[in-house]
Structure 1
Amino acid sequence: MRGLILQQPFFGGTQRSGSELRMANDPVLPLSCWDLMWDLSLARGFDSDHEYCNPTVGGG
């Protein structure tokens, strides 16, 4: 594989973006659900600034 196309990326980070804050109380997928999905997906001891969640970590 030489590249990767993300058709529906789902990224996050410890610092909230403007769009995340605007969608905090979204009736379909509120911000608390986003946090729960990352808590369930990442290994114990990691936060949403892990490279799998936040591709901008470490200058990426």
Structure 2
Amino acid sequence: DPTGVERGWKDTVLVNPGERVRIIGRFEPVNFGKYVYHCHILEHEDAGMMGLFEVLP
């Protein structure tokens, strides 16, 4: 369970080597479509820390 500064809404997440993070989000019914998630470090994006997810009706 998250504690302290790890709680609350965020738009960035720290992921250390070998860790996994589960992202939970809420999307209103009008926000269907495709969204991109990515790391801001280009070398990390090249290594797979970038992807696409889709919100379906």
TM value normalised by structure 2: 0.25
Q: Which has the higher contact order (CA 8 A, sep 6+)?
A: 1
Structure with greater Cα Rg: 2
| TM-score (structure 1 length as normaliser) | 0.24
